[in-house]
Structure 1
Amino acid sequence: MTDPYLTAGNVWQLRHGPQEIARLAVTGTDMPWVRAEVETLPGFERFRPVFADQEQALEEEDWDRADACYDQIRTALTLTFPDGGRVAEFMLRIHGDGTAGWRWHHEPFVPFGTAGP
């Protein structure tokens, strides 16, 4: 079964509070990653350095710094499906070339070492 959210051309939204700061237009998938072209909007520039630092940390295999960037992104930003519903959990990378990749899940992740429901 094909996930309708992953159809090429569908647009996911990146939000900071109520403000839409980027549109992610799906270009394809490389499961478990979704790939997209990024259209930045007013408000995105505030977060560009965090995504750049995340990309550099990953290239340098500095996992603690990459995790800190992930925490900053997840604390400040939300991702919405093309239908406007909020994504419960996601790991997003926005690259300097105007592309993005992300993984997502319908349910929040359970922190390591804690009991699930």
Structure 2
Amino acid sequence: MTNPNLTTGSIWRLHHGDQEIARLTVTGVDMPWTHAEVEILPGYEEFRPLFSEQERASDEEDWERAGACYTQIRTALTLTFPDGGPVAEFILHIHDDHTAGWRWYDEPFDAVNP
């Protein structure tokens, strides 16, 4: 059975507080990564430099800096499934070309690795 959250065309949403700042339309899945086209909405621009910094740090294999970016992203933003339910944990990369890749988990990391 196919997971409806991973169906091509399904839309995940990125939020800052109550404001939806991006829509991620699934284009494919390469487990454990999900890939999407990103529709930028008002409020996203505040976070663009953070995602760009995360991408640079990853490209340079500066895992400490990439981890710091991840922490800032997870502190400020939430991701929701296509049905509107919150994603417990995720690692999200939004690229400058308005594509994204992310991994998601049903439980927070601290619940998985106490």
Shorter-chain TM-score range? over 0.9
Runs of 5+ consecutive residues of structure 2 not aligned to the other structure: none
Residue in 2 aligned with 1:53? 53
What is the distance in 1 between the residues matched to 2:5 and 2:59?
Answer: 29
Return the letter of the residue paired with 2:5: Y
Which digits, 9 at most, give the CA deviation of each residue in 1:57-84, with x for residues without a partner?
A: 0000000000000000000000000010
Q: Between Structure 1 and Structure 2, which shows a larger proportion of helix residues?
A: 2
Once residues 61 and 111 of structure 1 are traced to their aligned partners in structure 2, the CA distance between those partners, rounded to angstroms, is 27
Give SS of 1:75's match.
helix
Q: TM-score, normalised by structure 1?
A: 0.94
> TM-score normalised to the size of structure 2?
0.96
Query: 1:19-55 deviations in whole A, cap 9, x for unaligned?
Result: 0000000000010000000000000000000000000
User: What is the root-mean-square deviation in Å for CA atoms of aligned residues?
Assistant: 1.3
- Which residue of 1 is the match for residue 36 of structure 2? 36
How has the CA–CA distance of structure 1 residues 111 and 56 changed in structure 2, closer, same or farther, with 3 Å as cutoff?
Answer: farther
Distance 1:43 1:95 in 2: 16
In the alignment, does 2:79 pair up with 1:93? no
Identity of aligned residues (%): 68
Paired letter, 1:41:
L
Residue 83 (str. 1) matches residue 86 (str. 2): no
* Structure 1 CA distance for aligned equivalents of residues 83 and 47 of structure 2: 24
- Equivalent residue for 1:2? 2
Show the counterpart of 1:102. Answer: 102
Gaps of 5+ in 1: none
Q: What amino acid maps onto 1:58 in structure 2?
A: S
- Count of residues in Structure 1 that have an aligned counterpart in Structure 2: 114
Task: Report the residue type matching 1:25 in the other structure.
Answer: T
CA distance in 2, matches of 1:7, 1:58: 27
Alignment partner of 1:14: what SS? strand
Q: Map 1:5-24; keep pairs closer than 5 Å.
A: 5-24=5-24
* Runs of 4+ residues over 3 Å off in structure 1: none
Residue identity in the other structure for 2:39: E
